[in-house]
A and B are shown apart, each in its own frame.
Chain A
Amino acid sequence: MMVLRTLQRAPLHGYALAQQIKRLSNDLLQIEEGSLYPALQRMLKDGWLKANWDVSPTGRRIRVYRITPAGARHLEKEVSSFERMLEGIRFVLDGNQSPEQA
């Protein structure tokens, strides 16, 4: 979900993607390379991403991933279900407090 959201902002290659996620989450989330690449391949296979070889501004051969319409739809679905879950969690947490408040 985070990968899709990050790529929705801008197409990126693997290393940049990892850095970006780390930065966006204020270093709270550090994605492990060990799980990043298999995850990227999975999303490629499911048709959520597309990948192209490109040359970076520093002259390095990089593989740039961009999100597909199918990926965007999936992201939307994921986000909304995640938000519902968050809401649920918040509700439970609030509920736990309510007896004390009562």
Chain B
Amino acid sequence: MNIIPQIFQRRKIDRDVADEIASHIEERAAELAAQGMAPADALLAARRQFGNATLTAEQSRAVWRWAPFEELLANLRYAVRQLRRAPAFATAGIATLALGIGANTAVFSVVNAVVLRPLPFPEPGRLVSVASRNTRGIPHPDQLSYPEFFALRRQNAAFEHIVSYRDTSMALSGAGDAVNVPAQIVSWDLFDALRVRPAAGRGFRPNEEARDQRVVVLGYRLWHERFAADASISGRTILLDREPYTVVGVAPRDFAFPFENPAVQLWTTLAIDARSHTKQPLTEQAGSRFLQAFGRLRPGVTIQRGQTQLDSVAAKLAREDPDNYAAVAGTWITPAVDSVIGDARRPVLILLGAVGLVLLIACANVANLLLARTAEREREFAVRASIGAGRARIVRQLLTESFFLAIAGSAAGVLLAIACVRAVTRLAAGSIPRIEQASVDAPVLAFSVALAFLTTVLFSFAPAVRLARIELISPLKEAARGNAASGGRLRGAFVVVQIALGLVLLSGAGFLASSFAHLLRRDAGFRPEGLLTFSIGMPNELTRGAAHLPFESRVLDRLRALPGVTSTAAGVPMPLAGHEIILSFNIEERPSSPSNRPYSDMALVTPGYFRTIGIPLLEGREFTETDDGQSEPVLVVNRAFADKFFPGERVIGKRIEPGATADGVRGGMREIVGVVANARQDPLGAAPDAIYYYAEKQLPWCCLHYAVRTSGSAAAIQSSIRAVVAQIDPTAPVYNIHPMEASLSDAYRGPRFQMLLLGAFAVIALLLTAVGLYGVLGYAVLSRTREIGVRVALGANPSAVLRLVLRQAAVQVACGIALGASGAAAGNRLMKTIVYADAIPQSFLVFAACVVIVITATAAALIPAKRAASVDPVQALRSD
């Protein structure tokens, strides 16, 4: 069909048809007149006989059209005109939709970045995380030891590569100021497995895992910042931890490994772990599980098949060496991208669900607006129908108006989302992986457009159905006496649903807020005010055995002499640092085989640590300077440890034997000499973690972190600390220097983000619901003005009228609450899975949410109710 010329001929065709029909009627009239009828009567009779001339003309023209498209254009033009003529309605509708769609777009951009986006490597679907399966207690993934990793790597045919990696950090000196660089110790085939070509030089080679090799690949950023992007860097020797390393390559610009961790800027081979640092190189210690691993499956190999192969390797190891492997006789293989998403999936999806409810509420509001408008326009539609518009055409017209509203709303919403995404990502940075990558890009825009369609269907369905059902002519006869009753019920139903959804959101937000408040209020177990922590990148020759002890005590002494410093100490891990060292032990009274031993967190501390951090001593004594390699082996435990492993007993004097070893350290049983309060290792954990403390001199592992308590501001002393350390050793960088209060507040970023976002959604929902209720009641009052006027004229007093309107509101609110309460309970059960502590009983929270709803609803209902009560009967009766 040649549409283009037809469009140009359009005007001619339209004119022809119109002329032709006019001529037809005239001819008929002339004929009738000739038969003796008066000319005016003849014309009327001819018209009557012809029927609906406009409709006929339209149908005739329609033959020529690519009808749906042209009608859409016409409808759109009409829609814009209509909306321009009702600016209040248009603004309210577009703003409501912009809020709903904008919030959804923003949250979806987060979901897209965090959950949906694949890893940025070729064929990311074949990349999997490889861990061992620890079946002690609830089965959970566990890290690997080197001997285990070597066995898995060698004895399978399902993987192209299996790559081990572990965190470390290295002090780079000789290239500007000494700086500490986050680094990874990896097996040789990291870059091959990821299919990444270095930006310069090459990746590692298999022989570079040998004990004497020291090779490194630089991160792109480090290469720029410290080596001026020197193209001839390959082959150069640089100093890391004061040891010479040969640079073999530079990673590409956007390369991030571990996945999505841009901080790491150095990669070296596991050769460094093969040196004999302690009695046995790490690469030979079967019991030291600290390796993470990922693999690339061969093409066509499923995760299940890969796992089956690795399981049989693990099972064989467990048979050969049950002491080390009995508890980990299987493997745990998951898509590698899951290791990036981690625990973030559920909170992010819950937020998406919550924001979806906001959209539903927004849709209900717009549907109500449209219903009201449809009712107002019934006369217009009736007129249009009477001059020849088909009913379907009118419904399509309405749908077009709705769609235009949705498009305008989503355009505004997308702008809103673009503005919000940055704020949202800043709020959550560091607490949700990959969230920095969230942006309004093509898939997100596609999502918004889909939302626009969906919302159009949702909110214009009701008005369209209503229009299709009503008698289009009756409004003309009724002179718009208003048949609000039938529409009113539907609109009331929308308000009920809104109230129910609002209740779910509100109680969910209340739940998060109360648990967050509890989190802030509860005792961290130590005093973060005035406390500053930092780390020092130690030169390599000082990290062997007890070589770092003199350096450490020099630093601590010099720091203690600084003005304002009240005490100093060192320890690893510090509170809030998480479960960095978990070690099993044997209890003297209840000995067990190595694979069945209990385990808990452990830490190494200097004397004065508990005082400096602010952990109260509950029983027994602290460590002293005399707790060293020569004296009796001792331990201090926390309250949670005592309660967990020695419930109801006096723990002082009990003896346990932890598995930790070091050169010149006596093995055997160690006596518990003190009990301290529970300082939180995991700031978000439900219960405090059991932990036991070594005196550092009795287990001289390098390297501890430093803690300084000041009487003044913890932030002010940072530069003096750097100066002190630089005086002692200019090649040893100070890093991770943070006031403890900042670390504590960082730890709460995740829950704070969830709470603020859900709170914002709840507030939006509440506002929209209030507006919806106000609109429905306001409209009801308006359309019943005459009835109210009659009532007042017959003697009803204003308070009775007030009650009349409020009763309508009360019924809707009650229905909404009844419907929403069970939803709220279900929502809160879901919340519980992402929340750390629930301080307040759920029923109370739901009740509180109901109270807020009732108050808001009352406020929203009072305005129209007051207006109804002040109706002047004379005016009301004249109003039509």
Contacts and interface: CB of A to CB of B under 8 A. Distances in A.
Interface of A: 13-15, 18, 32-34, 37-38, 40-42, 44-45, 51, 53, 58, 60-63
Chain A binding surface, main DSSP class: helix
B117 interface: no
A60 B27 contact: yes
14 contacts: A14-B21, A14-B23, A32-B51, A33-B24, A33-B50, A33-B51, A34-B50, A34-B52, A37-B20, A38-B56, A38-B62, A41-B13, A45-B63, A61-B23
Contact of A41 (B30, B51, B60): B60
Contacts of B19: 61, 63
Which of B16, B51, B60, B62: most chain A CB closer than 10 A?
B60
Given A41-B63, A58-B30, 5 more contacts: A37-B59, A38-B60, A41-B64, A60-B27, A63-B20
Contacts of A53: 16
A62 B23 contact: yes
A56 to B, nearest CB: 8
Given A41-B17, A41-B63, A63-B20, A34 B51 contact: yes
A59 to B, nearest CB: 11
B11 to A, nearest CB: 15
Contacts of B51: 32-34
B28 interface: yes
B26 interface: yes
A42 B50 contact: no
A37 B28 contact: no
A86 to B, nearest CB: 29
Which of B13, B20, B21, B23: most chain A CB closer than 10 A?
B20
Given A60-B23, A61-B19, A63-B16, A37 B56 contact: yes
B61 interface: yes
B60 A40 contact: yes
B63 A15 contact: no
Top-5 shortest CB links A-B:
A41-B63, A38-B59, A37-B60, A15-B27, A41-B60
A60 B454 CA distance: 54
Contacts of B21: 14, 33, 37
Given A33-B51, A61-B19, A38 B24 contact: no
Interface string B18-48: 0111011011101000000000000000000
Interface string B748-786: 000000000000000000000000000000000000000
Interface in B125-184: none
Nearest to B16: A63
B251 to A, nearest CB: 66
A69 to B, nearest CB: 20
Interface string B366-405: 0000000000000000000000000000000000000000
A37 B26 contact: no
B55 interface: yes
Contacts of A51: 16
Contacts of A34: 50-52, 55-56, 59
A78 B17 CA distance: 27
Contact of A14 (B24, B57, B59, B61): B24
Given A37-B17, A41-B63, A41-B64, A15 B55 contact: no
Contacts of A32: 51
Given A34-B51, A61-B19, A63-B16, A42 B63 contact: yes
Which of B21, B23, B57: most chain A CB closer than 10 A?
B23
A15 B23 contact: yes
A63 B27 CA distance: 12
Nearest to B22: A61
Which of B49, B55, B59: most chain A CB closer than 10 A?
B59
Contacts of A40: 60
A60 B23 CA distance: 8
B27 A38 contact: no
A13 B27 CA distance: 11
Contacts of A33: 21, 24, 49-51, 56
Given A34-B55, A60-B23, A61-B19, A41 B28 contact: no
A14 B26 CA distance: 12
Nearest to A16: B27
Contacts of A63: 16, 19-20, 23
Contacts of A58: 30
